[in-house]
Amino acid sequence: MTTILGISGSLRKASFNTGLLRAAAGMMPEGATLEFGSIEGVPLYNGDDEAANGTPEAVARLRAQLEAADGLLLSTPEYNNGIPGVFKNAIDWMASGKGADAFKGKPVAVIGASPMAFGTVLAQDAWWPVLRTLGTRPWYEGRLMVGKAREKFDETGELKDADTQERLASFVEGFVAAI
């Protein structure tokens, strides 16, 4: 069984990016599963706090999930043409100290949804140097940027657009096959 850890970079209840991951979970090819990780509860990174108090529970849980996973799927919003601070902070926490070892050689793919027309192209591009620095094995063969997300998700954050569903299914299939 191939296990993919999916992490959404949004904390919103009806998040487009969390909805994109839920849809991806339902489209995983046979022999693969998507496990959800959450950035909720991850505090702002502070090395002094880490030294004094150790790793916060939410971070330890994400690290354990990453270590157990065969691949990582990030579903990123785009805020002001870049990576959301809350998402980058969670990855920074996960990668602090010995946590960085869990990223080394890990296959990773990035998807994202945004209300803007161009989707999350700039946020996705901004993730690549971070993921390269962490020593991951980025999957560049596929790209999924969902623009005009308000038209493609319902009010609860569920993906309703058939074309996007097809593109997502193809993306997930390709990523899992590359692992």
User: In the prediction, which pLDDT does 126 show?
Assistant: 98
Contacts of 123 (CB under 8 A, 6+ apart): 76, 77, 78, 79, 81, 82, 83, 84, 112, 114
pLDDT in tens, 95-152: 998 889 999 999 999 999 999 999 999 999 999 999 999 999 999 998 999 999 999 9
pLDDT value of residue 28? 98
Question: Domains of the chain: which residue ranges?
Answer: 2-178
Share of the chain above pLDDT 70, in %: 100
Does 3.40.50.360 match the CATH number of domain 2-178? yes
Q: Would the pLDDT of 89 be above 90?
A: yes
pLDDT at residue number 99: 87
What pTM did the predictor assign? 0.97
